[in-house]
Each structure stands twice: as structure tokens, then as C-alpha cells.
Amino acid sequence: MSGVYLVMCQSCSYSQGFKFGVGNKFSNLNQAVCLVNANMRYQVQEIIRDNGLSETDFGYRAFHCPICNNLCDEFWVRIEQDSTSVFETEVYCSKCGNRMQSVLKPEDMKAFPCPDCYNVNLDLVRVMPWD
């Protein structure tokens, strides 16, 4: 479900907000390219300009680091240019530098250890839906 979620640890004081999906304002990638991380924005714009888009998927997602359990959200893009060429944004952990894994659904975050106390005791509350 698209919207903003609050993840809270029931064992310690960890809490953080996460965005999932996009609102109606960004119904296609051309409108949403401004949300792409600045380091990758030019590359995405270049792919759109030079190759067009066969198939795209995009939106905010949460990411989990399998090494240090850090959690974050980023705007994610996947572009299929043809049957053999795929571009997908990569997210790296701000704590340890490891490549992070995408979290597909907000509910999946409950299965991860808390980034602060490492207990598997995260709770999830939907704070706000997108427009």
C-alpha cells in the first residue's frame, strides 16, 4: 500500500518514518524523475531521452542492510529498455557501505531486526496515505 508508515521498535526507542509508492501526482516516470537520487537522476534522464521506455516500475521503497540492519527509504526506479537491457537504481548503506536489499511491502519490515537494539520486535503503523 502506498503511503507513509512509522516503524517503531517495541524493545527500545527506535522509530522512523518510511515512504512507500508514489501519489497520483507522479503517474509516470517522466513526472517522477525529479524524485530520483541526484547521483542517478542524470543517468535516468539519459536513458529516457536516448532509448525511450519499454517498461518501468518506480516509487519509494524501504531498504534493509543485511550486514548492519540499517533501514532507509529511497526513490527506486527499474527501467527495461529492451529484452536484454535493464537499469535499476541501487541503494548503499550509509553506515557500512553494503548494497541494501529492497523491501517490497511495508509489512515485510516487521521481520527485520531493529537497527538499534537488534531485537526482532518492529511494529508498523500507516500514518498517511498518498493523495
Structural domain total, the chain: 1
Question: Percentage helix, strand, coil, to 5, in the chain?
Answer: 25, 35, 40
**pLDDT at residue 121 is higher than 90:** yes
Q: Which structural domain, as residue segments, surrounds residue 122?
A: 3-128
Alpha helix (H) residue ranges in the chain:
29-32, 38-51
pLDDT of residue 118: 95
Q: Are 7 and 105 in contact (CB under 8 A)?
A: no
pTM: predicted TM-score of the whole model, two decimal places = 0.84
State how beta strands 86-88 and 122-128 pair.
unpaired
Nearest residue to 108 (alpha-carbon basis) of 37, 11, 20, 35: 20
**pLDDT at residue 28 is higher than 70:** yes
SS3 38: helix
Q: Are 100 and 62 in contact (CB under 8 A)?
A: no
Q: Are 124 and 20 in contact (CB under 8 A)?
A: no
Q: Residue 117: which residues within 8 A CB-CB, separation 6 or more?
A: 9, 11, 12, 14
pLDDT of residue 51: 67
**pLDDT at residue 54 is higher than 70:** no
